[in-house]
Amino acid sequence: MKQTIKMIIGTGTLLLATHTFAFTKGADISWLTEMEDSGYQFYNDWGYKQDVLSILRDHGMNAVRLRVWVNPADGYYNSLQDVIVKAKWAKAAGMDVMIDFHYSDKWADPANQWKPGKWDKLSFNDLMAKVWSYTKESLTSLKNAGITPKWIQIGNETNNGMLWNDGMASKNMRNFAWLYNSGRNAAKEVFPDAKMIVHLANCHDNANFRWIFDGLKANGSQWDVIGASSYPRSATGMTWQQATAKCLANLNDMAERYGSEVMVTEVGVPWDDSEAKTIVADVIKKVRQVKNGKGLGVFYWEPEAYNWKGYTWGAWNPDTKQPTEALDAFLE
């Protein structure tokens, strides 16, 4: 969306200023290197083999999101080294990059926020120091590789904090805030212009968002963007329409209550859902409707996944190896 301010002088028009408000449309593609190394191939809408980033760009996407694990079990995938490879691909494709620190050796989500094995015995003060040094060293390596992330996510789906049990918010909100602050401050040292994201699951759950962000604010935390996951088909006890409506109400509340920009950093639907395109399009529409232009964008979570580790909420058809209509929602 562009907003142009003009001044009419006589019969002429003087252009004073033009402001472009870019809406980000992207995808988390963290599985991509592992899938390609396993022999997976991808085909575009016309049935021709093509690289995933080109296919995503052809569907209107302009950014990627990449998760980082500290010491992954296989020693490589989702490690910093793996992330740098994919970030370089994104840069070559002219796409922006979001870095998503899980601060774990494996998945971090509302039910799992376990510390990396090598950090398990650290005192709380040493744990804060480790979060700071790990974040700074990781981002410095990215910087040295020529990558400048536009957004940096400090923790993943931190509905009850991170780095359990020390940073479990329900037990000690201050500890969670201080651990977050350690990562945030380190990230700002390396990339002062990057936007810092705090990310929670269940965009429809306003009470949880208020509890976490009130707690962070009370303990001196600062952030730029509130990120949310939205999987409308899995919202308990409500229709997908009710889930997206509650998500919009929550995002508006977050923007007004904290003055934050907001973003849906994860959205997904079953690949064979007959309403997939409609649902994703509605989530995009809702984020665009956030008041005062505070809604920054939407990222699909692992759209390229098909017949992969049992995950069925991607946006690729496992029979044709082509994108489903869900990706067409990003074409506007």
Q: Using an 8 Å Cβ cutoff, are 306 and 316 in contact?
A: yes
Judging by DSSP bridges, how do beta strands 295-301 and 24-28 pair with one another?
Answer: parallel
With the CA atoms of 52, 56, 57 and 61 taken in that order, what torsion angle do they form, in degrees rounded to the nearest 10?
-140
| From 157, 261, 302, 304, active-site residue | 157
What are the structure tokens assigned to 329, written together? 């929602």
In eight-state DSSP terms, residue 219 is T
Other C-beta atoms within 10 Å of 319: how many?
9
Whether 137 is catalytic is no
| From 261, 266, 302, 304, active-site residue | 266
CA distances from 76 to 68, 88, 191 (A): 10, 16, 25
DSSP states along 83-119: HHHHHHHHHHTT-EEEEEE--SSS--BTTB-BPPGGG
What are the structure tokens assigned to 240, written together? 């997908």
Q: Using an 8 Å Cβ cutoff, are 175 and 125 in contact?
A: no
What are the structure tokens assigned to 278, written together? 């409609």
Whether 266 is catalytic is yes
Other C-beta atoms within 10 Å of 54: how many?
12
Q: Which residues are catalytic?
A: 157, 266
